[in-house]
Structure formats: C-alpha cells, structure tokens
Amino acid sequence: MKYLLATSLVVGSLATLAPAAQARDGIGAGGAAALGVLGGLAVGGAIASSANNGYYPGRPVYRAPPPVYVEEDYGPVCHFERRRTIDPYGDVYIRRVRVCE
C-alpha cells in the first residue's frame, strides 16, 4: 500500500511539472512523446517491482523445540564388587561379583 501511495505521489508531481518543463525548455511533440514513454516505463517498472517479493524465501522462523520427557529407569541399580573366596584346597581367589540393590 505504501508503494502505491508513493508511486501515485510521484506520478502526480510529474504530471504537474510536465507542462512547465515543456513551456520553459521548448520540448516539441516528439520529445514529449519520448518523455511520456520513458516515464511510463519507469512508473510501470516501479509498480511491477513493488509486487515482487524477491528471489529468496522469507526470513527463517525459529521455534522452541518440543519438550522432551525422560523416563527414569526405576530398575535395580547394579555394580560389581571384588570378593575374596577360598576354594576347598585353600587357594585364595578374588572374583568379581555383580551386586544389585
């Protein structure tokens, strides 16, 4: 909407200045036609480019990640302990034993 208002303001100001420029500079009919075509191309290009949003996508949108729920493992907590064992022959062995609480 701003571009349309600005464009109409520029066209209106050019329309009011065009007769004064012709009277002062003595532009003939051919020059006036050339200026009209040139002005029409400029205004048409401005109107056409105002609807163009560019050749790239819009700004990236960053959103918060979804919440993550972590389930606690309520199973037994196990660890390994070293225990000294003596076999029937009297030899001492150190074994690793899994202990779950």
The share of the chain scoring above pLDDT 70, in percent, equals: 72
Task: Answer yes or no: is 45 within a domain.
Answer: yes
Residues 35 and 42: their CA atoms lie apart, in Å, by 10
The conformation of residue 48, written as its DSSP 8-state character, comes to H
Domain range for 29? 2-50
Task: Answer yes or no: is 77 within a domain.
Answer: no
Task: Answer yes or no: is 96 within a domain.
Answer: no
pTM score, whole prediction: 0.29
CB 96 within 8 A of CB 81: yes
Provide the domain count of the chain: 1
Q: Where are the alpha helices (DSSP H) in 1-68?
A: 2-25, 29-50
Task: Answer yes or no: is 17 within a domain.
Answer: yes
Task: Answer yes or no: is 10 within a domain.
Answer: yes
Task: Answer yes or no: is 37 within a domain.
Answer: yes
Helix (H, G, I), strand (E, B) or coil at 94: strand
Q: What is the dihedral of CA 84, 85, 91, 92, to 10 degrees?
A: 0
Task: Answer yes or no: is 26 within a domain.
Answer: yes
Task: Answer yes or no: is 63 within a domain.
Answer: no
Tokens at residue 69, please?
């729920």
Tens of pLDDT along 39-70? 999 888 888 777 666 666 667 788 888 888 88
